């Protein structure tokens, strides 16, 4: 797997949704997926080690945002979750799941404060768990996302997202397990 290409694809998708800064996205014309327009009432609950006292666990609640787009008979849904485990480190951690109607779920993971070296792009076919995408699947996903962007259709706040929310949580678990196994 080409890690440099993977990092570029993941950061490109996150910047297209105005989640991370990019020179190719005009923030005056693009509303961030992280805006209040797309904020959902559900939360991500994290139990993390305290930044200052490592013997204490702290409960954090993080936001989830969602948008959807309808094109002809197809619907594309996107959920973004903030999985940042620390407020003091400045290290952002985001998971995003994207699904087109009757298609596999794609999951993107991004950690960093500008370097994003631990990016991931995975796929879940028929809810059978996650697997990292091959270069071919990465390119196919990027091409599809570029087609969606080129349509320039308006996104709406996501509805009926419970299954995709479960996918978002399972993607985070997969990411943690995957990167723990390759250390």
Rounded-to-integer distance, Cα 88 and Cα 106, Å = 30
Q: Per the structure block, which two tokens stand in for 100?
A: 């087109």
Buried b (16+ CB within 10 A) or exposed e, 36-53: eebebeeebebeeeeeee
Closest to 161 in 3D by CA, of 106, 80, 93, 82:
80
What is the band of 87 on the pLDDT scale with cuts at 50, 70, 90? Answer: low
Kindly report which listed range (2-6, 48-52, 92-96, 138-142) carries the lowest average pLDDT score.
48-52
- The token pair that represents 110 in the structure block: 């991004």
Residues 36-68: pLDDT tens digits? Answer: 999 999 999 998 777 677 678 888 899 999 999
Token pair for residue 27?
């923030």
With 0-12 / 13-18 / 19 or more C-beta atoms within 10 angstroms meaning exposed / middle / buried, residue 130 is: buried
Domain boundaries, the chain: 3-181
- What is the pTM assigned to this prediction? 0.90
């Amino acid at each position: 797997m080409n890690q440099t290409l993977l990092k570029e694809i993941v950061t490109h998708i996150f910047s297209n949704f105005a989640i991370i800064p990019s020179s190719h996205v005009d923030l005056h014309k693009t509303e961030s997926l992280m805006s209040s327009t797309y904020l959902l009432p559900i939360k991500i609950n994290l139990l993390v080690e305290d930044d200052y006292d490592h013997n204490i666990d702290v409960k954090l609640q993080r936001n989830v945002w969602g948008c959807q787009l309808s094109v002809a008979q197809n619907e594309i849904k996107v959920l973004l979750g903030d999985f940042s485990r620390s407020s003091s480190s400045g290290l952002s951690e985001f998971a995003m799941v994207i699904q087109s109607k009757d298609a596999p779920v794609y999951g993107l993971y991004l950690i960093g404060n500008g370097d994003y070296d631990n990016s991931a792009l995975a796929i879940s076919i028929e809810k059978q768990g996650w697997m990292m995408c091959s270069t071919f699947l990465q390119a196919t996903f990027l091409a599809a996302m570029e087609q969606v962007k080129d349509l320039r259709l308006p996104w709406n706040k996501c509805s009926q997202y419970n299954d995709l929310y479960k996918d978002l949580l399972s993607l985070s678990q997969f990411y943690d397990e995957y990167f723990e196994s390759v250390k």
